Amino acid sequence: MFQPLAQTSGDAPFVARHVGPRDDEIAKMLDAVGYESLDALVDAAVPQAIRSIDALDLPPASTELEALDELRALSRRNQRQTQMIGLGYSDTITPQVVLRRVLESPAWYTAYTPYQPEISQGRLEALLNYQTMVADLSGLPTANSSLLDESTAAAEAMTLMRRAVRGEGGVLVVDEDCLPQTIAVVRTRAEPLGLSVRVADLDDGLPDGDVFGVLVQYPGASGRVRDLRTITEEAHERGALVTVAADLLAMTLVTPPGELGADVVVGSSQRFGVPLGYGGPHAGYMAVRTGLERGLPGRLVGVSKDVHGAPAYRLALQTREQHIRREKATSNICTAQVLLAVVASMYAVWHGPDGLRDIAGRVHRQAAGLATALRAGGVEVVHDTFFDTVLARVPGRAEAVAADAGELGVNVGVAGTDLVRVACDEVTTDVDLRRVLKAFGIESPQLPTEAEALPAGLRRGSAYLTHPVFNSHRSETSMLRYLRRLSDKDYALDRGMIPLGSCTMKLNAATEMEPITWPGFAGIHPFAPVEQADGYVAMIRQLEQWLATLTGYDTVSIQPNAGSQGELAGLLAIRAYHRANGDDQRDVCLIPSSAHGTNAASAVMAGMRVVVVAADEDGAVDLDSLQAKIDEHGDRLAAIMVTYPSTHGVYEEGITEIARRVHEAGGQVYVDGANLNALLGLAKPGEFGADVSHLNLHKTFCIPHGGGGPGVGPIGVRAHLSPYLPNHPMLPEAGPASGVGPISGAPFGSASILPIPWAYIRMMGPEGLKLATQTAVLNANYVAARLAGHFPVLYAGRNGLVAHECIVDLRQLTKSSGITVDDVAKRLIDYGFHAPTMSFPVAGTLMIEPTESEDKAELDRFCDAMIAIRAEADKVAAGDWPADDNPLTGAPHTAESLIGSWEHPYERETAVYPIRSVRGDKYWPPVGRIDGAYGDRHLVCSCPAPEAFES
Ligand SMILES: *Cc1c(COP(=O)(O)O)cnc(C)c1O
Specify the residue with its C-alpha closest to ligand 1, atom 6.
563
Mutate which of 146, 331, 500, 502 to test ligand 1's pocket (most atoms within 8 Å of Cβ)? 502
How high is the pLDDT of residue 250? 98
Give residue 713 CA to ligand 1 midpoint distance, Å: 9
Give residue 46 CA to ligand 1 midpoint distance, Å: 22
Q: Residue 618 pLDDT > 90, yes or no?
A: no
Specify the residue with its C-alpha closest to ligand 1, atom 4.
563
Mean pLDDT, residues 882-892 taken together:
98
Give residue 657 CA to ligand 1 midpoint distance, Å: 24
Q: Residue 262 pLDDT > 80, yes or no?
A: yes
Mean pLDDT, residues 228-256 taken together:
98
Specify the residue with its C-alpha closest to ligand 1, atom 3.
563
CA 643 to ligand 1: nearest atom: 13
Ranking 519-533, 609-623, 902-916 by mean pLDDT, the lowest is 609-623
- The band of 1, judged by pLDDT with boundaries at 50, 70 and 90, is very low
CA 598 to ligand 1: nearest atom: 10
CA 696 to ligand 1: nearest atom: 7
Domains 80-299+336-490 and 533-762 share a fold: yes
Mean pLDDT, residues 779-805 taken together:
96
Mutate which of 644, 696, 701 to test ligand 1's pocket (most atoms within 8 Å of Cβ)? 696
Specify the residue with its C-alpha closest to ligand 1, atom 5.
563
Q: Residue 8 pLDDT > 80, yes or no?
A: no
Question: Does a cis peptide bond (omega within 30 degrees of 0) precede residue 732?
Answer: no
What is the percentage of the chain residues whose pLDDT exceeds 90? 91
Count other C-beta atoms under 10 Å from residue 521's C-beta: 27
Specify the residue with its C-alpha closest to ligand 1, atom 8.
335
Q: What is the dihedral sign for C-alpha 514, 520, 526, 530?
A: negative
CA dihedral 38, 39, 45, 51 (to 10 degrees): 140
Mutate which of 672, 677, 838 to test ligand 1's pocket (most atoms within 8 Å of Cβ)? 672
Which of 750, 714, 407 minimizes the C-alpha distance to 555? Answer: 714
Strand 930-931 relative to strand 837-838, pairing: unpaired
Give residue 693 CA to ligand 1 midpoint distance, Å: 12
* Distance, CA of 883 to CA of 948 (rounded, Å): 32
Per-domain residue ranges of the chain: 80-299+336-490, 533-762, 765-918
Q: Residue 9 pLDDT > 60, yes or no?
A: no
Give residue 564 CA to ligand 1 midpoint distance, Å: 6
CA 713 to ligand 1: nearest atom: 7
Give residue 568 CA to ligand 1 midpoint distance, Å: 12
- The band of 348, judged by pLDDT with boundaries at 50, 70 and 90, is very high
Specify the residue with its C-alpha closest to ligand 1, atom 14.
674
Q: Where are the beta strands (DSSP E) in 788-850?
A: 806-809, 837-838, 845-848
Give residue 235 CA to ligand 1 midpoint distance, Å: 37
Q: Where are the beta strands (DSSP E) in 576-655?
A: 588-592, 609-613, 637-643
CA 566 to ligand 1: nearest atom: 9
> What are phi and psi for residue 141, nearest 5 degrees?
-75, -30
Give residue 592 CA to ligand 1 midpoint distance, Å: 15
Which DSSP letter does residue 83 get?
Answer: E
CA 564 to ligand 1: nearest atom: 9
Which of 655, 639, 646, 638 minimizes the C-alpha distance to 594? Answer: 646
**Per-residue three-class SS string for 43-65:** HHHCCHHHECCCCCCCCCCCCHH
How high is the pLDDT of residue 321? 73
Give residue 114 CA to ligand 1 midpoint distance, Å: 15
What is the percentage of the chain residues whose pLDDT exceeds 70? 99
Strand 715-717 relative to strand 930-931, pairing: unpaired
Give residue 852 CA to ligand 1 midpoint distance, Å: 19
Q: Residue 6 pLDDT > 50, yes or no?
A: no
How high is the pLDDT of residue 4? 45
Which DSSP letter does residue 894 get?
Answer: P
Question: Does a cis peptide bond (omega within 30 degrees of 0) precede residue 710?
Answer: yes
Helix (H) and strand (E) counts in the chain: 28, 25
Count other C-beta atoms under 10 Å from residue 946's C-beta: 11
- The band of 55, judged by pLDDT with boundaries at 50, 70 and 90, is confident
CA 698 to ligand 1: nearest atom: 7
**Sheet containing 410-415: order of strands:** 82-84, 410-415, 419-423, 389-393, 380-381
CA 567 to ligand 1: nearest atom: 10
Which of 617, 618, 608 minimizes the C-alpha distance to 640? Answer: 608
Give residue 672 CA to ligand 1 midpoint distance, Å: 8
CA 647 to ligand 1: nearest atom: 13
Give residue 598 CA to ligand 1 midpoint distance, Å: 7
How high is the pLDDT of residue 836? 97
Ranking 321-330, 635-644, 796-805 by mean pLDDT, the lowest is 321-330
CA 562 to ligand 1: nearest atom: 7
* Distance, CA of 193 to CA of 537 (rounded, Å): 33
Give residue 505 CA to ligand 1 midpoint distance, Å: 13
Strand 555-557 relative to strand 171-175, pairing: unpaired
Give residue 611 CA to ligand 1 midpoint distance, Å: 20
Length of the chain: 951
Specify the residue with its C-alpha closest to ligand 1, atom 2.
674
- pLDDT, tens only, 457-478: 999 999 999 999 999 999 999 9
Give residue 668 CA to ligand 1 midpoint distance, Å: 20
**Per-residue three-class SS string for 841-862:** CCCCEEEECCCCCCCHHHHHHH
Q: Which residue has the higher pLDDT, 920 or 489?
A: 489
CA 699 to ligand 1: nearest atom: 1
Give residue 287 CA to ligand 1 midpoint distance, Å: 25
**Which residues line the pocket of ligand 1, CB cutoff 6 A?**
334-335, 502, 562-564, 596, 598, 643, 647, 672, 674, 696, 711, 713
Mutate which of 334, 498, 593, 840 to test ligand 1's pocket (most atoms within 8 Å of Cβ)? 334
Which of 946, 945, 943 minimizes the C-alpha distance to 132? Answer: 943
Mutate which of 564, 679, 698 to test ligand 1's pocket (most atoms within 8 Å of Cβ)? 564
- pLDDT, tens only, 892-928: 999 999 999 999 999 999 999 999 989 889 999 999 9
> What are phi and psi for residue 834, nearest 5 degrees?
-85, 135
Give residue 511 CA to ligand 1 midpoint distance, Å: 25
CA dihedral 429, 434, 437, 442 (to 10 degrees): 160
- The band of 619, judged by pLDDT with boundaries at 50, 70 and 90, is confident
- CATH 3.90.1150.10 is right for the domain spanning 765-918: yes
Specify the residue with its C-alpha closest to ligand 1, atom 7.
563
Q: Residue 951 pLDDT > 70, yes or no?
A: no
What separation in angstroms does the CA of 422 have from each of 184, 410, 413, 581, 944? 22, 10, 6, 45, 40
Q: Residue 372 pLDDT > 80, yes or no?
A: yes
Q: Is 907 helix (H, G, I), strand (E, B) or coil?
A: coil
CA 595 to ligand 1: nearest atom: 13
Q: What is the dihedral sign for C-alpha 572, 574, 579, 585?
A: negative
Q: Which residues make Cβ contacts (< 8 Å) with residue 582, sequence separation at least 6?
A: none
Give residue 710 CA to ligand 1 midpoint distance, Å: 12
- The band of 53, judged by pLDDT with boundaries at 50, 70 and 90, is confident
Give residue 647 CA to ligand 1 midpoint distance, Å: 11
Give residue 565 CA to ligand 1 midpoint distance, Å: 10
Which DSSP letter does residue 100 get?
Answer: I
- CATH 3.40.50.300 is right for the domain spanning 533-762: no
CA 565 to ligand 1: nearest atom: 9
Long-range contacts of 442-448 (CB under 8 A, 24+ apart): 442/373, 442/374, 442/376, 442/377, 442/379, 445/373, 445/376, 445/377, 446/372, 446/373, 446/376, 447/369, 447/370, 447/372, 447/373, 448/368, 448/369, 448/372, 448/373
Give residue 651 CA to ligand 1 midpoint distance, Å: 18
Mutate which of 335, 558, 571 to test ligand 1's pocket (most atoms within 8 Å of Cβ)? 335
- pLDDT, tens only, 541-559: 999 999 999 999 999 999 9
- The band of 10, judged by pLDDT with boundaries at 50, 70 and 90, is low
Give residue 335 CA to ligand 1 midpoint distance, Å: 7
CA 504 to ligand 1: nearest atom: 15
Mutate which of 598, 644, 672, 703 to test ligand 1's pocket (most atoms within 8 Å of Cβ)? 598
Q: Which residue has the higher pLDDT, 540 or 55?
A: 540
Q: Please state which CATH number belongs to domain 80-299+336-490.
A: 3.40.640.10
Which of 179, 84, 159 minimizes the C-alpha distance to 729? Answer: 179
The three-point CA angle 599-152-78 to 5° equals 110
Q: For the chain, what is the mean pLDDT?
A: 96
